[in-house]
Amino acid sequence: IEGQQRILREFEEELDLEGVDYETVEELGDPVSRLLAVCETSQADMMVIGRRGAGLAERVILGSTADRLTHLASCPVLVIP
């Protein structure tokens, strides 16, 4: 988990976040349900998520996290390819 936190800190340092209210959250569990819960409790204005690029078989069997979020989130979802 320390490696993940280091990567997140390095990523944040590269972004121009001045004037942007944001929050980083570490959660365990199903990504869709956890992200939806965070979106609801924080009353987020927007969710930004990367598309991992799952293969066709994986998307058909499991569904795309990004796709599910765009349909279920209470706020707009921006999917970054």
Note the pLDDT of residue 13: 87
- Ranges of beta strands (E only) in the chain are 47-50, 77-80
List, for residues 48-58, the tens digit of each pLDDT value: 888 766 666 65
pTM exceeds cut of 0.75: no
Q: CA 81, 28, 77: angle at the middle one, nearest 5?
A: 35
